[in-house]
Structure 1
Amino acid sequence: MSTRTPIRRKASAQATPTAVLCNVMPRLLMASEVATVLRVTEKALEHWRRRGDGPAFIRLARNCIRYKEGDVIEYLERRVAE
């Protein structure tokens, strides 16, 4: 029986395009995730969007809403009662 030693390849010095985008692009949350974090219903988020309240959102398509993680955090910080 022969045992083969696995060949180790040097890690590429260049980052892949996906890795670069992940470091640059903000994390996008679905409405269901934001609703869970804020402990409200998705319907409440929809109502807030129509009224212009709530965290800033991105409409990628007619029925595709996303929230930047930073915008949700900022919204929460603005809502802190003093």
Structure 2
Amino acid sequence: MIIVRHPHLTTAEVAKLCRVSPRTVEGWRYRGQGPPFVRLENGQVRYLAQEALAFAGYEHEPGLKANTLSEE
């Protein structure tokens, strides 16, 4: 079961969710292929948890609690 405790995820958390490296997520972002993201005023990138979960294919996962990232 995946539990996301925050509405916004970091690049590292999205990478863990998708089981890829953070560099892969950065590449997706650069090419416009990954989940939607926002860039904060300080330059940090955040992803909406619901969008990242859907991108990773978890939108219909039984027992999903979308609202760090941990597996139980």
CA distance in 1, matches of 2:28, 2:42: 17
Q: For the structure 1 residues 44 and 62, does the alpha-carbon distance in structure 2 shift closer, same or farther, using more than 3 Å as the test? A: farther
TM-score of the two chains, using structure 2 as the length reference: 0.63
Runs (5+) with no aligned partner, structure 1: 1-25, 78-82
**Which is greater in Rg?**
1
Q: For the structure 1 residues 63 and 41, does the alpha-carbon distance in structure 2 shift closer, same or farther, using more than 3 Å as the test? A: farther
Higher strand share: 2
Higher helix share: 1
Q: Aligned pairs, how many?
A: 52
Aligned-pair RMSD on alpha carbons? 1.7
TM-score of the two chains, using structure 1 as the length reference: 0.56
Report the AA paired with residue 42 of structure 1. P
Question: Would you identify which runs of 4 or more consecutive aligned residues in structure 1 move more than 6 Å?
Answer: none
Residue 71 of structure 1, aligned match among 51, 54, 59: 51
